[in-house]
Structure formats: C-alpha cells, structure tokens
Amino acid sequence: MFHVKHSTGETIAAIATPIGVGGVGIIRISGENALNLLKIHFKASNGQVISSHQMLHGWLIEPNSGEKVDQILACYMKNPRSFTGEDVVELYCHGGPAILEKGLNLLIKAGAHLASRGEFSKRAFLNGKIDLIKAEAVLDLVSAGTAAGAGCAIKQLEGRLSSVINGIRGPLLDILANLEAIIDFPEDVAEFDARKTGEILEGLLKEVRALQSSANMGRIYRHGLCTAIVGRPNVGKSSLLNRILGENRAIVTQFPGTTRDTLEELVDIKGLPVRLIDTAGICETEDSIEIIGVEKARGELESADFVLFVLDGSTRITKNDRNILSLVNTKRFFLVLNKLDLGLTVDKSWIDSLPGCAGVFEISALTGQGVQQLLTSIYDFVTNSMKFAGNDAVFINARHFDCLNSAKIGLENAINTCFNGFAADLVTIDVKAALLALGELSGEEVSEEVINHIFDQFCVGK
C-alpha cells in the first residue's frame, strides 16, 4: 500500500477534446518541459513572452521551417498552480482532426510522450492536487448522462464526500493517539475509558452506515435506473418507448412478435437517469429467433431495478399475462394499462392482490394520454423509496462501499472490544483497521493496482 506524491519527470501531451470536426480542439501538455515546448512551437501575434496564467493569441508553428500550422490561443500555467501540479500548457486550435494531429505530432517529435488514459488526472492525484474521491468525481462528471448526475459529481469534486470521510477519520485518529499514549505512557496518561471510547465509536459507525446506504442511489445516478418494459406480445411496449423518447426508435407493427431483441435508451426524468429497456414479448413460442428474444427479456426482467409491466387494457387478462405477472411480482413495478384510446375493459379487481405493484396507470401510448403522469410517478417513487436527499446527497460507488464495509467491520470489532472490557492495545488493532480502510477510500493508503484501475477508465487527454 502506498500513496506516492511526485512528478514522473516525463512531459506528456494529448488531444483533450473528442476527435472530430468542431469549433475548437485542445492540445494539453504537462511536465517540466511544457513551457519549453510552447516556446519553440508558438509565436505570439504581438511578440509578447507568455507569463503564467495568461492566454495569448498567435500561431502554432513548425520550429525548423517556421511554417504556420494553425492560428491558436495558448495558455500557460506554472506549477504548482495547475490541475496536475506540474507546468501545464494548453493550445486552443481550430477543431479539425488533421490540425490537432499535426500539432500533437510536432510536440511528440520534440520530446513529449503521448499521454495514456487518465494520465493528467493521475498526475493530479499523485501530486496531491486531488484525492482519489475527487479523481473519481472527475470521471463521473465527464460520464454524467443528466444534469442532476453532473450536479452530484460536482458535489463530490467540491469535496463533499471527502469532507464526510475526514470527519470520521479525525475522531478516529484522536482515539488512536489516546490509545497509543495509554499503552506507551500508562503512568502519565489517564486510564482507558472503554465505555466513553465505545460510545464515540458507535457514533462514527452510524455515519459509516449512513454513507453505505447511499450506494444504490449513487449507482443509479452514475449508470441509470435499469427499467425493463415487459409484457406479452403486441400490448404496446415499443409504442410506449417511442412515446417517451418522442421518436420512432423501436419498430412498431400490428403483428405480435415484432420486437425480437432488447432495445435500450437513456432518458432524463426530472434529472433522474433512467435506462429504458424495451424487451421482446414474453410468450410460449416455437420460433427459434423469438425464443432467444424471450430469454433475453426474462434476463432483463431479472436484473432490472424497476419494471413497467404493460397490459392491453382494452382486452381481458390472459393466461400469458398471469404467467408474466408471476415473474414480475418479485420486483418493484408499475402496472401500465395501455390502449386507453380504445376504452379499458380489463378487470381491475385482482390488482389489489399484487404485492410488488407500486402503482397502476392508465395510458395511451398512441395518443400520449397519461404518459407524463407515469414518468413523474417513476421519479417520485424511486426518489421517495430510496430516501433521495437531492442536491445535499453524498453518493458513493462500489469501491467506496467496499472500503466503508471494511471500516464498519473494524469499528464494530472495536466497539465490542471496548464494551467487553478488553485492554486498550486490542482496541487499537481494530481502530487501525478502520483507519486503513478509510485511507484506502480517500487514496492515502491504496495499492498501485487500484490506482491504475481507476485512471484507466478515463479518456486520453483527461
């Protein structure tokens, strides 16, 4: 376990914007040779020598021939006042891929190394500019599918979770210091108050458990609420998806079994990212291709966070509907009675006996009637059932959860040791275990393998 904070010495460069035609493309450079690379590849329009945190207009040039490659803006940030903590240069070029590639090749030819995935952010972490939690927040921000998801990432980047973790580590460090003083200097320090220490640890354990409870909502805001749209063939599942999307994304015909495969789309419901999965109609069939689609539909149903069970409200309940219900009833689901435009004749007397049903909605996917209420209710149900705290929420990911779980075990053991009257040196072992787990979470104590795994998920140039 280690937490290195140093510069690698190599100067790296990469295109920091997505490849493709655009208004502006950025080439980013970081390292001890960044300023020198700027000096030999940039000529300011007014002849001025660039200073730190200044942006100048000028030309990107080929140093040997003096050929002008592009008209650009250049910015220089002297260490340590930069994102990476090193000298950083950014070149704002026109957004054509040929220009950007030529500029990057000039820098590499002059000695820069092509940056690997996430290497700029990794250097920021290694140089102590951000902790591991904030580094992950950068990735969440770049990957956010909704404004609310981006807002949650911003809270992490501001240090909300880091602050909470430090608020737990601080008292633990105080307890550890007191325990070690009692062990090393028993004649000079007051006796070990096991009960008081145990009560403090119980308060910290409560905070750890509260953080763990946010894991599921954190996963949803990062990856979306996995919502399977299921039902027998020809009840209007694909029509519902198209109505929600506002476009004909799924093929719709009057013939049952049109959907043979799953179709997934991300939608934003009041800031809640929802992954809607249109599935094949679940039924008994001898069609080999349709069988595959039905099996995939069953798989999506099994793994879904939430289910929209669609019935044809203009007809009676069928045996197939009831068979599907036996699968759906183990999940949290909304019952959607579609085809309101044809008039609803379905018998609703049996609905009250559905333990998993969180709501019944009468809609017309054809006209859109009732669909907005359905979407609003999805948001209300998910946020209320998961006790979503809105902009004040602190969300954790799977790695955070595992670290917190280790911290929880350490705290639980320490509390039991305190209340069972064991000596201070035994409590110390468990307190150190909890502190180690929290250090892994923030990056103070973390393996190289974990660091590489996190930053390998970033794009090149970030």
Mean of the pLDDT values across residues 151-173?
89
Asked whether residue 24 falls in the same domain as residue 120, the answer is yes
List C-alpha distances in Å: 370 to 326, 355, 407: 26, 23, 47
Of the candidate ranges 138-147, 185-194, 221-230, 370-379, the one whose mean pLDDT is the lowest: 185-194
Dihedral over alpha carbons 145, 229, 351, 346 (to 10 degrees) = 130
Same domain, 253 and 347: yes
CB 328 within 8 A of CB 230: yes
In this prediction, what percent of the chain has a pLDDT beyond 90?
A: 43
Any domain includes 1:
no
Distances (CA, A) of 165 to 98, 396, 450: 46, 11, 19
Q: Which amino acid is at 111?
A: G
User: The pTM is what?
Assistant: 0.71
Q: 458 in a domain, yes or no?
A: no
What mean pLDDT do residues 373-402 have?
78
Quick one: 232 and 206 in the same domain?
Answer: no
In a domain, 7, yes or no: no
Q: Are 208 and 264 part of one and the same domain?
A: no
Provide the β-strand partners of residue 42.
60
pLDDT of residue 261: 54
Report the CATH number at residue 97.
3.30.1360.120
Q: pLDDT-derived band of residue 253, with 50, 70 and 90 as boundaries?
A: very low
Which among 131, 160, 182 is the end of a domain? 131
Residues 177-194 have a mean pLDDT of 81
Residue 394's nearest CA partner among 143, 178, 137, 127 is 137
- The percent of residues above 70 in pLDDT, for the chain, comes to 88
* DSSP one-letter code for 352: G
Nearest CA among 365, 374, 330 for reference residue 237: 365
- What integer is the mean pLDDT of 7-32? 89
Categorize the per-residue pLDDT at 424 as very low, low, confident or very high, splitting at 50, 70 and 90. Answer: confident
Helix (H, G, I), strand (E, B) or coil at 228: strand
**pLDDT-based confidence at 255, cuts 50/70/90?**
very low
Q: 224 and 179, same structural domain?
A: no
Question: Could you say which of 97, 131, 165 is where a domain stops?
Answer: 131
DSSP 163: H
Residue 258 has pLDDT above 80, yes or no: no
**Domain end point (choices 74, 103, 131):** 131
Q: What is the rounded CA–CA span in Å between residue 48 and residue 44? A: 6
Q: Which residue has the higher pLDDT, 41 or 350?
A: 41
Residue 279 DSSP symbol: -
d(CA 268, CA 248) in angstroms, rounded, equals 17
Are residues 92 and 148 located together in one domain of the fold? no
Predicted pLDDT of residue 200: 94
**Domain count of the chain?**
3
Quick one: 307 and 258 in the same domain? yes
Q: Give the tens place of pLDDT for each residue, 40-84.
A: 999 999 989 999 999 999 999 999 999 999 999 999 999 999 999
Q: Is residue 300 within a helix (H) or strand (E), and if so which, with residue range? A: helix 288-303
Alpha-carbon distance of 321 to 340, in angstroms, equals 18
- Please report the DSSP string for 130-141 in residue order: S-HHHHHHHHHH
Residue 31: pLDDT above 80?
A: yes
| Residues whose CB is less than 8 angstroms from the CB of residue 150 and which lie 6 or more positions away in sequence, other chains included | 141, 144
Q: Is residue 127 located within the same domain as residue 227?
A: no
Residues 123 and 165 in one domain: no
Cα 57 to Cα 406: distance, rounded to the nearest angstrom:
53
Closest CA to 265 of 257, 255, 275, 273: 275
What is the predicted pLDDT for the residue at 181? Answer: 87
For residue 61, the Cα-to-chain-centroid distance in whole angstroms is 40
CATH classification at residue 322: 3.40.50.300
Alpha helix positions (H), 83-189: 97-109, 119-126, 132-143, 147-158, 160-184
How many C-beta atoms lie closer than 10 Å to residue 390's C-beta? 10
Q: 236's torsion region: left (phi>0), alpha (psi -120 to 50) or beta?
A: left
Task: Verify that 210 and 329 share a domain, yes or no.
Answer: no
Determine how β-strand 54-61 pairs with β-strand 42-44.
Answer: antiparallel
Domain that holds residue 25: 12-131
Residues 244 and 345 in one domain: yes
8 has pLDDT over 60: no
CA nearest neighbour of 436 among 399, 412, 403, 400? 403
CA dist 241 and 250 (Å) reads 7
Residue 462, domain member (yes or no) = no
In the block, residue with structure tokens 């911003």:
154
For residue 410, what is the enclosing H or E element? helix 398-419
Q: Do residues 99 and 156 share a domain?
A: no
- 296 neighbors 279 (Cβ within 8 angstroms): yes
156-160: average pLDDT: 85
